[in-house]
Each structure stands twice: as structure tokens, then as C-alpha cells.
Chains A and B, each alone.
Chain A
Amino acid sequence: MLMYLLRRLGLALVTCLFISVLTFIIIRLPPGDFVDAYIANLAASGSTVSNEQAEAMRRDYGLDQPALVQYARWLGRVLEGDFGVSMVWRRPVTEVIGDRLWLTMVVSFAALFLTWAIALPIGIYSAVRQYSIGDYVFTTLGFIGLAVPNFLLALILMYLGFRYLGLNVGGLFSPDYVQAPWSWARVWDLAKHLPLPAAVLALAGTAQLIRIMRANLLDELRKPYVVTARAKGLTERRTILKYPVRAALNPFASSVAYLFPYLVSGSIVVSLVLGLPTVGPLLLQALVAQDMFLAGTIVLLLGIMTVVGTLISDVLLMWIDPRIRLEGHG
């Protein structure tokens, strides 16, 4: 078990390193270096920079050094929490991103949680009552869920919410709380705004997970150990929940790993439509403006978050499946 964890942790670290290299490449991708871009930026606003000043800046940032050295220095700064300066905003990247990273996490986890909360019971129902009317209804809804694009659903829900429920849709906060410092009231305000974006984001993943859960559980329900459990005299409900459902949960745990990046990238479009203060829209702006420190940082942080998601899913798998937990013991 320890070996398994250590191996996973090592793999995660290697992945993070790989992501950092990729990020570094992204930052250096545009023609010219950061100083060229900075000068161009200043020129656009009317001020000029002398050649000597430019050379000094290059030395400061180590841009005259070989790429490997530059990478090492950049990584060192990143590890200290210095992600560089956003060209467009003329402020440190960390300040620009601010709460957005955490809000992205909150929205994604809310969506993930909702995905599970809906997919688990419906998946179980559809398998246990295979070919019932309910199963057909859920299957149909599921396919619609897979087919409808996120942003369209977002628009429809926004319209319905606004038109018929008089909801203040869009955003993650009411106007009063957008700029307010964190307080319980602000958290509560966030909680009230969360369901809509979470539901929109969760939809396609839920449909997919229901299919997986249903198929897996149908498989498991036919296995002899289910008959064993019934033959003990357990109720049908207990039999199914304790044995085949547990066995069918593995893909749920893995879903953390693959749904997470999907939710984060899916959230870009949805966030634009719903006006959510997540990193998604920011990333889009940064890419359009070639604000590479900002874009790179966002990519880096999202990448690391995905790696963390994968780790979480590994731990969950270990918890669910004793064969993995006991791997390496006899």
C-alpha cells in the first residue's frame, strides 16, 4: 500500500515537472523575448525604453543565459510563489488570478459532486430495473444530456431562471458581494449561486457516468458473489448496495481523474456565458493578448490541479479496492 502510494506520488511529481517544462515553453513561445514584448507594450502606450535599459532588463531577468538556466531560475521563482508579471494588467500574475483559482476549484468540485450525486442513484436504478420505464426515461435524458452543448444549456437555464424564477443569474456573487472581503455572508452568497453553473457543467459528465455505472453494475449483478449474498438471507437492497455497487464503484473513483480536466476546460465556455469569475475567461484573454506569463501560470496551475485530482482518485481507488491496497503484500 505504501509502495503504491509512493509510486503514485513519484509519478505525480514527474508529471508536474513535465507540465512546468511545457509551461516554460509556452511562455517563451511568442517571437522575441519578454523584454521585446514589454517594450512593444510600453511603446503602444506612448513611452519608450532605451537600448541600455532593455539590456539591463534582459540581464535582470537572465534572458541572456542559456534556456536551461533560464528554466531553472524561472522554476525557482515559481516555487517561491513568484509567477512573473502580467503584461496586460501590469500587475503580478498572482494578484491578477487572485480568488479565481479557488473559485474555479469550487465550481469544478461542485460540478463533480453533483455529477456523482446524480449519477450514482440513477445508475443503480437503471441497472437494477433494467428495461423498466424509468430506465428508458433516464437513458433518453442521458443521451440528450450528452448531445446538448454546455453553453446552450447554460443559456437556456439562465433564461428559465430569470424569466420564471426571477433569479439573479450569472456570476458567482450578487452585486453586493462581488468586491466584498470574504465573510460567512459572502460564502453563503457563493453557495446560492453555485447550483446553476455546477448543474450546467455536470450535465454531460453525469450522462456519461450513468452509462458507465449502469453497464458496470449490470455486469456485477450477474456475478456469483451476488447470489452468495442473497443466499445468506440479506435483503435485496442490502445485497445490492453492499456488494455489486461497491464493485462497480471503481470507475467512479477514476472519474475524478478524467472528469476534472474536462470540467475545468468545459468551465471556460460556460464561465464566459454565465460570467463566472473563474480562471477560464482569464486564460482566454491572456492567450488572445499573448500575455504569456499569465497564460503560462494558469496552464501550470490547472495542470497541477489535474495531477492532484488524479492522486485523489488513486487514493479513492485504494480505499474501494482491497486488491490495490494490499498490492505487494502476499
Chain B
Amino acid sequence: MRPTPMAEPIALAVRDLAVRFEMEQGNVHALEGVSFDLRAGRTLGIVGESGCGKSVTARSILRIIDRPGRITGGRILLDPGTPQEVDLAALDPESARMRAVRGGRVGLIFQEPMTALSVHYTVGNQIIEAVRQHSDISKAEARNRAIELLREVGIPRPETRIDAYPFELSGGLRQRVGIAMALAGDPDILIADEPTTALDVTTQAQILALLRRLQAEKRIALMLITHDMGVIAEMTDEVAVMYLGRVVEYAPVAALFAAPRHPYTRALLRAVPSVLAAPRQRLATIGGAVPHPGARPAGCAFHPRCAEVIPGRCTAEMPPAIPPGIAGASCFLDVPA
């Protein structure tokens, strides 16, 4: 096994994260031992079919999973290995410390630029609130800071737009407002949960370019969740492929496309025939349906859909998880390099 060459410090390390939704209809194991690192100035792509746990992962980091979901295991280490190291999974979600992390250290960007902003308050009101939540400055100063943020994310005439209501802005502008809001607390980690899925192609490209620019300028550790292999190819440095609440493959982006190691990754890539020809094609469903996380198949969870299944073994045994930060696939066929 060969660690990927990366000198940048780890800003956030997720280790064996497990999240469960305990419901009357039965328990849903949304996450079952997810591990990965986010590094300053780098982008980790998270890809996988609907329901595999991408959003739950994002929300767990911020400790805002909906009830009845809760973290049942693992650690979420902020600044691991430093004296300031703190395990977010162990904090009270409502504690001042956790709230300082939320929006202050870790910013969140959403998929739906319309519904992610409240229609009842102006853009300025919502951004200024975020600014003042994380610094002790006056209203007037916070307003100036908000205008500056809007300018930074490329909103024309920010001095007037700040008093607009979200429904008065286009989808692209709203998404820029969403990004400005995520930046309001000056976070060094950004989580973008399908930030461009709801936008048209031109706007998508602009928003992605903006994210890239901001990341480079601020050396942000970016976690980019998407369905879109085109976005992965264009934006990310490393990729974690998720299936049913687990990371099944982790690889540098070039290696992932050149030599995918997990049968699931290969199926995903086959479903997008030419990444370069159709960069933003929505991930086509691969053969077979995703099993419900409440009814996870025994052994390797992918075995009912796997073309390379080893009878007797894959149905009985679970392939080992990939050690974090090391390229590999959680599959019996994977030969560690």
C-alpha cells in the first residue's frame, strides 16, 4: 500500500463514522464505518447513487442530522494531530463549541438555491446574521462585510442586491448568495452538497469555477458531493466512492478514471460512456436497484448487482474497509498495490 503523496495538513479526519436512524419501521444504517480525510487546499469528491449516505455524511460533520438519526460510532476529528484536536462526534450538537464550528470552521453549501434560503428575510439579513454569529462586529460593519462577500462571489451591484429577497434573484445568483453565506464565518472547510445539480449547464460551470477560485484563494478544504462524474473529473483531487453507507473505493482522481478498482466504480464509469463528450451527464442508474439501507445484503453489500461476484465468498463475508488516506477498494478482488 502506498500513501498518496500529500503534504497539506489534514483539516478534518472522519474515522469509522456510523449513523443510524432508529425508526418504528426498523433501523436504517445510513452510514457504516465511513473514513476519509479533508486536507487544506484540496478537494475530496464524494460520489455514489442516491441514498448511499452522502448528505448524511455532510450533516453528521456539522452535527445536524435530522431526528431520529444519530451517530452510533466513530470519530470526526477537527485539526487531528494538533493540540487543538477535537472530536466533533463527542460534542453536544447544541454546545457553543459545536455552534462555533458550524459555519465558523465548516461552511455548508446546498443543492437547492431556492429552498435553501428563507423567502421571509432579505439576502442581507441572512448573511449578516451568519457574519455576526461568528464575530463580534457592529451591524454596520457586518453589513459592509456582507456586501464584500457578495462581491467576492461575483454578484453584480452587491450594494443594492443585499436588500433583495431571494425570490427576486435568479437561480445562479441565489446559489452565489448561498456560497457567500457559507463563507460568512470565514471557514477553512467547505462542504458542498450537490451545489450545481439544480442549475442549468452554463450556470453550473460558473459556480464550479467560483468554487475553484475561492478554494485556491483561501486554501479551503473542500468536500464536494455529486452524482456527476463530469464534475468529479473536473473539480476533485481525490475521490471517495460510496455505496450503502460505506466508502467502497478511494483514489486520486486520475487513477480512479484510469484504473477503477472496485466493480461498482467500474459500473458507474461505464454508465457515463464518455466523460469528456458529455461532462455533466447525470449518473445513470447501473443495473439492478439500490437495496434499501434498512435491508442491507449480507456479505459484500454490492454482491446482488456485482458482475464479478465470487460465489460463496462475497455473499458470506464482508470485504475489509479501506484504511483512510490510502488508495484502494473494499473488494475481495482488489490486490493492494
Q: Which residues of A contact B (CB under 8 A)?
A: 222-225, 227-236, 242-243, 246-247, 320-323, 326, 330
Contacts and interface: CB of A to CB of B under 8 A. Distances in A.
Contacts of A236: 94
Given A230-B102, A233-B99, A233-B104, A225 B129 contact: no
B305 interface: no
Contacts, number: 81
Nearest to B165: A322
B117 A225 contact: yes
B181 A228 contact: yes
B185 to A, nearest CB: 7
Interface of A is mostly: helix
Given A235-B99, A243-B120, A322-B122, 4 more contacts: A233-B99, A233-B102, A233-B134, A321-B120
A234 B64 contact: no
Interface residues of B, number: 37
Interface stretch (B34-42, B73-81, B107-115, B253-261): B107-115
A224 B112 contact: yes
A231 B115 contact: no
A15 to B, nearest CB: 29
B151 interface: no
Nearest to B64: A230
B252 interface: no
B59 A227 contact: yes
Interface of B: 59, 62, 64, 66, 94, 99-104, 107-108, 110-112, 115-122, 126, 129-130, 133-134, 165, 167-168, 178, 181-182, 184-185
Contacts of A224: 110-112, 115-116
A245 B116 CA distance: 16
B129 A232 contact: yes
Contact of A323 (B99, B107, B119): B119
A326 B168 CA distance: 9
20 contacts: A223-B115, A227-B108, A228-B108, A228-B178, A231-B62, A231-B182, A232-B130, A233-B99, A233-B104, A233-B130, A233-B133, A233-B134, A233-B185, A235-B99, A236-B94, A246-B118, A320-B120, A321-B119, A322-B122, A330-B168
B208 to A, nearest CB: 20
A227 B119 contact: no
Contacts of A326: 165, 168
Nearest to A247: B120
A231 B64 contact: yes
Contact of B103 (A222, A223, A233, A323): A233
Nearest to B106: A231
Contacts of A234: 99, 129, 133
Given A234-B129, A234-B133, A225 B99 contact: no
Which one of B111, B112, B118, B168 has the highest number of Cβ atoms from chain A below 10 Å of its Cβ?
B118
Contacts of B182: 231
Which one of A224, A234, A236, A321 has the highest number of Cβ atoms from chain B below 10 Å of its Cβ?
A224
